[in-house]
Amino acid sequence: MRYFPIFIDTQELNCLVVGAGEVAARKIELLLKSEANITVVAPWVCGTVSQFAEQGLITVQNREFENADIEDRDIVFVATDDSELNKDIHRLATAKKILVNVVDNTPLCKFITPSIIDRSPIVIAISSGGVAPVLLRYLRQKLESYIPQKIALLGQFSEKFRETVKQKLSTVTSRRYFWEEVLDGTIAEQVLNGNSQKAEQMFAETLANHEQQKTHGEVYLVGAGPGDPDLLTFKALRLMQKADVVVYDRLVSKEVLELVRRDAEKIYVGKAKSQHTLPQQDINVLLADLATEGKRVVRLKGGDPFIFGRGGEEIETLVSRNVAFQVVPGITAATGAASYAGIPLTHRDHAQSVVFATGHLKDNTIDLDWPALVQKNQTIVFYMGITGLAIIRSKLIEHGMPKDMPIAMVQSATTDKQKVVTGNLDTIQELAESADIKPPSLIIIGTVVRLREKLNWFKTE
Query: What are the residue numbers of the active site?
Result: 249, 271
Whether residue 333 is annotated as binding a ligand: the answer is: yes
SS (H, E, C) the chain: CCCCCCCCCCCCCEEEEECCCHHHHHHHHHHCCCCCEEEEECCCCCHHHHHHHHCCCCEEECCCCCHHHHCCCCEEEECCCCHHHHHHHHHHHHHCCCEEEECCCHHHCCCCCCEEEEECCEEEEECCCCCCHHHHHHHHHHHHHHCCCCHHHHHHHHHHHHHHHHHHCCCHHHHHHHHHHHHCCHHHHHHHCCCHHHHHHHHHHHHHHHHHCCCCCEEEEEECECCCHHHCCHHHHHHHHHCCEEEECCCCCHHHHCCCCCCCEEEECCCECCECCCCHHHHHHHHHHHHHCCCEEEEEECECCCCCCCHHHHHHHHHHCCCEEEEECCCCHHHHHHHHHCCCCCECCCECEEEEEECCCCCCCCCCCHHHHCCCCEEEEEECCCCCHHHHHHHHHHCCCCCCCEEEEEECCCCCCCEEEEEECCCHHHHHHHCCCCCCEEEEECHHHHHHHHHCCCCCC
Whether residue 370 is annotated as binding a ligand: the answer is: no
Whether residue 244 is annotated as binding a ligand: the answer is: no
Whether residue 226 is annotated as binding a ligand: the answer is: yes
Whether residue 316 is annotated as binding a ligand: the answer is: no
Whether residue 303 is annotated as binding a ligand: the answer is: yes
Whether residue 129 is annotated as binding a ligand: the answer is: no
Binding site as annotated, residues: 22-23, 43-44, 226, 302-304, 307, 332-333, 384, 413
Binding site as annotated, residues for NAD(+): 22-23, 43-44
Binding site as annotated, residues for S-adenosyl-L-methionine: 226, 302-304, 307, 332-333, 384, 413
